[in-house]
Structure 1
Amino acid sequence: MPKTALITGITGQDGSYLAELLLAKGYTVHGLIRRASAFNTQRIDHLYQDPHEAGTRLFLHYGDLADGSRISTLLKRIQPAEVYHLAAQSHVRVSFDEPEFTGSTTGLGTTRLLEAIRSLGLPCRFYQASSSEMFGTAPPPQSESTAFQPRSPYAAAKLYAYWMTRNYREAYGIFAVNGILFNHESPRRGETFVTRKIARAAARIARGEQQLLHLGNLEARRDWGYAPEYVEAMWLMLQQDAPDDYVVATGTSYSVHDFLVLCFEHAGLDWQDHVRFDERYLRPCEVPDLVGDAAKAERRLGWRPQVLTPQLARIMVDAELAAAAPERPGSDAVVGVAP
């Protein structure tokens, strides 16, 4: 019998790829979206059908992680076999400007979902999107046994959600897992995230539509993977006999500078001619080096990454060059900081 899944954050990068994956596997997929004056569904528009048409398997519902009663009502109505909790205020730099909002959505939002599942007695499997940012300054490589040292409001909120997921698993027997995903990118990444910002600028400069790119810390090192591969790991975690927590990563380390060089060289440019430093993009607390050890995921889930950072950079730049989309106002602005 086909399964039913609920995805929070379905309109985001990971949510859109996960929806594609689940629909391809025959699931009926329900997505939680926030009510707004404008639609923000462009990442899933190609999947969406009129819900009145026969055979429709993707349904969207208005809801907010701050509204526990609405979450409970939707879970009771949908009766999902699997819940993938991806929604969050997910921008690390912005979390310093909006720590209370980040804590309420990224941290407490997870508790509201888990408590609704518990109170309803819903026999579903729950995936919590944890983050490598929780490791903070812990020396690499980081694995499931590495001590957490969060260095941002976002990381602290994610760590709270991580422990609440484990608490509900151990206290109430809920099949709840934490996917500790290291950085994973794609052409669908938001434009204010550094990888997309770099890839987009390289394409725009190559077309003569932009001259300069402003960035902050170029020395931070990250383990960058390809988002479509990482959502498969999410699904695999919920197919296991017992719930557990898993690091998902490539095990490779590249700096922001490395990613910058890869993108600009692929576009036929010298980055030094176009990149300028802007201190507004610096975090109050920096995380120097995140590199994941995903041996457990390979051993238990049979999951291995195929796309590493150099290929990822080419994929993202090629997508920007092919799109040739006009610039949207404010794409190079620092969110929450006046220019």
Structure 2
Amino acid sequence: MEGENEPRRALITGITGQDGSYLSEFLLEKGYEVHGILRRCSTFNTERIDHIFDKLKLHHGDLLDSSCLCNIIASVRPHEIYNLAAQSHVKVSFEMPEYTSKVTGLGTLRLLEAVRSAGLTKETRIYQASTSELFGRVQESPQSETTPFYPRSPYGIAKLYAYWTVVNYRESYGMFCVNGILFNHESPRRGKTFVTRKITRAVAQIVKGVQDSLVLGHLDSWRDWGHAKDYVKVMWMMLQQESPQDFVIAT
């Protein structure tokens, strides 16, 4: 039996990303033992977590590898899992639809099965990072938890599969697993290929005389934007509820 004074353990996939880094900081401040899964690669991509690197317990793994996920979860036995890893770029999902579906869609299934295999169905709570891309061609405005889904990209479709997989495992196995349907959220740690960073970097480059123009896509889109720090707090709050529920996370 675990000691009463033992810290809660959280496992984060996608820990090196914008949300993963802010969530790590948040959980460390709350006294958690924070574990993270990162893919093994030839170059370091940990700049967002370098300042807290020594406080984290990191494991090499991949959402494509079921056996690896089973080993990590059985070893860590986390109280909470935050699945933030994905191939999350919409444009790239059209170029790599099969890879996107395997990581973003089936990766969630592999993670849930790993929890079941470890016998942690009743012990581990799971947060699944979902997306407003589920709504795609919106059926109503504003969107809510009851708005019909209509994804329009391989990324959105993969996230829809993950969404319903979470619901199915919750209803079939009694697992505490939830979907947080995230609308756009930004920070200085946002990836450089996303529109806000693309615009701000281009402005800086234009001022310095490095480039003379900025090319954007559809300019009539409407988006809701929040800050990543606020949204990771909501992720944690969703796992502290008495019963598992799916929520839209927006401003």
Category of TM-score, reference length = shorter chain: over 0.9
CA deviations over 1:152-178 (Å, ceiling 9, x no partner) = 000000000000001000100110010
Question: What's the counterpart of residue 232 of structure 1?
Answer: 233
Higher radius of gyration, 1 or 2: 1
Is the aligned partner of 1:8 residue 2:20?
Answer: no
- Opposite residue 77 of structure 2, the aligned amino acid is Q
Cα offsets for 1:274-327 (capped at 9, x unmatched): xxxxxxxxxxxxxxxxxxxxxxxxxxxxxxxxxxxxxxxxxxxxxxxxxxxxxx
Q: Percent identity, aligned pairs only?
A: 64
Q: Which amino acid aligns with 1:219?
A: D
Query: Are positions 1:80 and 2:78 aligned together?
Result: yes
2:231 alignment partner AA: Y
Look up the match of 2:50: 45
Q: Residue 40 of structure 1: CA displacement?
A: 0.5
State the distance in 2 between where 1:58 and 1:99 align. 33
Structure 1 position 248 matched with structure 2 position 249: yes
Offset of residue 14 of structure 1: 0.5
Runs of 4+ in structure 1 off by over 6 angstroms are none
Q: Which residue of 2 aligns with 1:285?
A: none
Letter in 2 for 1:240: Q
Q: Does 1:34 align with 2:39?
A: yes
Instruction: Give the aligned partner of residue 111 of structure 2.
Output: 113
Matched residue, 1:157 = 158
Displacement after TM superposition at 1:225 (Å): 0.8
Paired residue secondary structure (2:50):
coil
Describe the SS at the equivalent of 1:230: helix
Q: Where does the alignment leave 5 or more consecutive residues of structure 1 unmatched?
A: 50-56, 251-339
- Relative to the length of structure 2, the TM-score reads 0.95
Distance in 1 separating the partners of 2:221 and 2:25:
32
| 2:133 matched residue in structure 1 | 133
Deviations, residues 127-169 of structure 1 (Å, cap 9, x unaligned) = 0000000011123210000000000000000000000001000
**Cα drift, residue 213 of structure 1:** 1.4
Secondary structure of the equivalent of 1:243? coil
What CA distance in whole angstroms lies between the structure 1 residues aligned with 2:246 and 2:74? 26
Normalised by the length of structure 1, the TM-score is: 0.71
Task: Write the deviation string for residues 69-127 of structure 1: whole angstroms up to 9, x where unpaired.
Answer: 00000001011100000000000111011000000000000000001111222110000
RMSD between aligned alpha carbons?
0.9
Counterpart position of 1:145: 146
Q: Which of residues 61, 68, 71 is equivalent to 1:70?
A: 68
Corresponding letter in the other structure for 2:186:
E
Report the count of equivalent residues.
243
Aligned with 1:48: secondary structure? Answer: helix
Distance 1:39 1:235 in 2: 28
- Name the residue aligned to 2:172: 171
TM-superposed CA distance for 1:208, in Å, is: 2.9
Amino acid at match of 2:41: A
What runs of 5+ residues in structure 2 fail to find an aligned partner? none
Q: Which residue of 1 aligns with 2:99?
A: 101
